[in-house]
Each structure stands twice: as structure tokens, then as C-alpha cells.
């Protein structure tokens, strides 16, 4: 098997992942693409990345295409990442909510679920058994399966407070030693869906808060605009829109007021 990917082959994968997911793979990602797909070549007994690309684009190969998308779109996440957002949710957004309807949050690039469950813990603290819902979405079916399980290695739970660990998490024993399970009642309030943000969105309803964090760094400017234009109609007026601290909406969206860097409100 050829362990290197040519410029032409890399360009084919660049175009493919942009077409499928809106993601821009820079030249610096060439080694990543090579490394993440190498085992798939080996699995199928292929010699070159060009042969694997042909396999991916052949008719009736949706399953392998999903595998490739999963491998090329996996992003790092962890519980209570960028804590200022969760402080804002707890201290500002939730107390301002008027009773009478469910408070709904969309974690729009939820990866393996840590962000969505972090939100769910705060909503459960504030609302208890009153109506609330968290929707988590991602393009990768593999990370969504992980998210639905709510089962994580203990070393990935450093961001969870002792109080939340006690209230919402179960520590593994025996064969599950070294792991943590989000308790069932909380898992049942979080709904994970496969959503491709670069395509037309499914009917998700309206949300009081939408988190689109640490994903726009993978989009070019045109794709950022298109994605945000799809998402904003689902945000209630007065609702909040959160992006990653390293991201910006300059030149991307109208109709939002910046409350602080990375925190916006829909006008």
C-alpha cells in the first residue's frame, strides 16, 4: 500500500468533504487525511488513495462514504468547554426565561455529546422536572452513537463539578471501572440527531439558545454565511447564539447584537 497521498488525490478529498460537509481542508491537513484514511485502504486491500476515492464515489457505497466523513470531521470536545458560556447560561439566559413554555437548546455541532450534556446539567439544575430540552446534532454517525450512550472515560470528565458528578453521573465499577455514565433521566432529556449544517435543515422547531462552537473555523467565509443563515431562523427573538472564543461573526450575520465576544442575541 502507498502510504503517501499525492496532491491530486488530496485535492479530490478536499472537494469531496467540502461538497458533503462544507468543510475546507487546508494543505496543512494533508497528513491528517492520509493518517485517518490509511486503515480504510488497508481494510479494502487498496494500494492508493485514488483507488479509495473511486470506491467512495461509486454508486451504492453510502456506508463507506459515511465512514470517511466520520473520520475526516471528528473534532475535540470536553465537558464545560469554554466555561464563560456556561456561566452566562446559568446566570443570565436561564433566569431571564419566562415560564410557560419549554426552554430549548441546540448544540449544533455536539460531537460525542459532552457539550449537550453539560448544558443539560445546568437546565436540570434550574428547571428540575419542568419542561426543557436539549438537541445535539452532528454530521458524524459514529460520534452520535457515542453521545447517545452517555458513557465516557473518567479522564474526560475533569470539567464536571463534584456536585454535578454526584447528581447526574454514575461511576463505573467492575468491568466498567475507569468510566462514567450520564444517568438515564438526564440522557432521556437530550435528543441526538444527525444533521448536516451545509445542507437544508430538518424541522427542529425553535430554540432559546443555539451553540455553534468551534466548527466555523473549518468553513470558508461563504460557507459560514450559508450555515448561519440556515440556523438563525430557528433562534427565537431575544434568544442567544454562542460561537467559539476563537471565532467571529464579522461579515457573516446580520440581526444579532454582540453581548460579549462569542455571545450574541437575536434582535
Provide the annotated active-site residues.
36, 138
Round to whole Å and give the CA distance between 237 and 84.
22
Assign 139 to helix, strand or coil: coil
**Grid coordinates representing 228?**
448561519
Least Cα distance to 151 among 121, 117, 119 occurs for: 117
Q: How many CB atoms lie within 10 A of CB 263?
A: 20
Residues constituting the chain: 267
Assign 132 to helix, strand or coil: strand
Partners of 137 in the beta sheet?
A: 193
Partners of 138 in the beta sheet?
A: 194
Sign of CA dihedral 101, 107, 108, 111: negative
Round to whole Å and give the CA distance between 131 and 102.
5
Round to whole Å and give the CA distance between 154 and 170.
11
Amino acid at each position: 500500500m502507498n502510504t503517501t497521498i499525492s496532491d491530486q488525490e488530496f485535492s479530490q478529498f478536499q472537494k469531496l468533504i467540502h461538497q458533503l460537509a462544507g468543510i475546507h481542508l487546508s494543505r496543512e491537513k494533508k497528513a491528517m487525511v492520509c493518517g485517518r484514511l490509511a486503515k480504510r485502504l488497508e481494510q479494502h486491500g487498496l494500494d492508493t488513495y485514488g483507488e479509495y476515492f473511486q470506491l467512495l464515489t461509486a454508486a451504492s457505497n453510502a456506508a463507506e462514504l459515511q465512514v470517511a466523513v466520520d473520520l475526516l470531521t471528528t473534532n475535540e470536545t470536553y465537558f464545560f468547554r469554554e466555561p464563560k458560556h456556561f456561566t452566562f447560561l446559568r446566570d443570565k439566559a436561564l433566569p431571564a426565561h419566562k415560564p410557560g413554555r419549554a426552554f430549548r437548546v441546540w448544540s449544533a455541532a455536539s460531537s460525542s455529546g459532552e457539550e449537550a450534556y453539560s448544558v443539560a446539567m445546568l437546565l436540570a439544575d434550574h428547571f428540575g422536572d419542568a419542561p426543557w430540552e436539549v438537541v445535539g446534532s452532528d454530521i458524524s454517525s459514529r460520534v452520535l452513537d457515542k453521545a447517545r450512550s452517555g458513557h465516557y472515560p473518567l479522564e474526560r470528565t475533569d470539567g464536571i463539578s463534584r456536585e454535578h458528578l454526584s447528581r447526574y453521573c454514575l461511576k463505573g465499577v467492575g468491568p466498567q471501572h475507569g468510566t462514567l455514565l450520564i444517568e438515564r433521566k438526564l440522557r432521556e432529556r437530550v435528543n441526538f440527531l444527525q444533521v448536516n449544517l451545509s445542507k437544508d435543515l430538518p424541522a427542529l422547531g425553535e430554540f432559546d439558545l443555539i451553540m455553534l462552537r468551534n466548527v466555523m473555523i473549518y468553513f470558508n467565509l461563504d460557507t459560514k454565511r450559508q450555515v448561519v443563515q440556515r440556523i438563525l431562523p430557528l433562534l427565537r427573538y431575544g434568544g442567544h447564539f454562542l460561537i467559539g472564543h476563537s471565532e467571529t461573526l464579522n461579515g457573516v450575520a446580520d440581526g444579532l447584537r454582540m453581548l460579549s465576544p462569542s455571545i450574541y442575541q437575536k434582535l
